[in-house]
A and B are shown apart, each in its own frame.
Chain A
């Protein structure tokens, strides 16, 4: 049960992040940081379904994390969900087509291990 929740937390968070990235990439690079231009960009982004669905996925992830905290210790929940760093990198590689070289894999792995240690 606990591991099922961990899987839901990690996968929905990774999918939400990947979808958010896809939405932003489809929108294109943000050049203009003046408030009016940012407002226009936000209006356009809110009309695409990517961002809305990504927020829903991230909300599900947060909800599942709260459920996990209610049935398991924080010292289990935080290290276990650090697997998220790996699943996000996998989705970035295979869904978004980013080139993940060994330094990125190693970096994601180090960060995941670091988060585990931080929570123990």
Chain B
């Protein structure tokens, strides 16, 4: 496979991993917000919240997150994937600010900045530094 195609494939998968993570957390938060006080005393209302469309959507997005991350790890380094996809943390915080109206303190803005810088820095390194395994079955 050409390097260009590998780069493109990696970019598409990395964007999928990050978006699925952000969407999953966002929808879960939307479905579960302000349910906790009632949930502690009434298990039924908590179960009801778990079956809400937002929560189901969130769980599906998190399943997509896990599967796309596995696929990405089939060729990309773990020490590349973990920091690069951590930009989801920063985007989750931004989604909370923009879509849920949550407040972001200056300290949190600094955190978002550091995570973004770290992810960008690691993105400039090689996607893979180990040799493909010798398992003939896995390669076509």
> Could you list which residues of chain A lie within 8 angstroms of chain B, going by C-beta atoms?
17-18, 20-21, 24-31, 33, 44-45, 85, 88-89, 91-93, 96-101, 103-104, 106-111, 113-120
Contact = CB atoms under 8 A, between A and B. Distances in A.
Contact of A118 (B108, B118, B119, B121): B108
B52 interface: no
* B interface SS class: helix
B4 interface: no
Interface of B: 1, 70-71, 73-75, 77-80, 82-83, 86, 89-90, 93, 107-108, 110-122, 124-126, 129-130, 132-133, 135, 137-140
Given A29-B75, A88-B78, A96-B78, A108 B138 contact: no
Contacts of A109: 118
Given A108-B122, A111-B83, A99 B129 contact: yes
Contact of B135 (A20, A26, A119, A120): A26
22 contacts: A17-B82, A18-B78, A25-B130, A28-B132, A31-B140, A33-B71, A91-B78, A92-B79, A92-B82, A93-B79, A98-B79, A99-B129, A100-B79, A104-B122, A107-B118, A110-B83, A111-B83, A114-B89, A114-B115, A115-B86, A118-B89, A118-B111
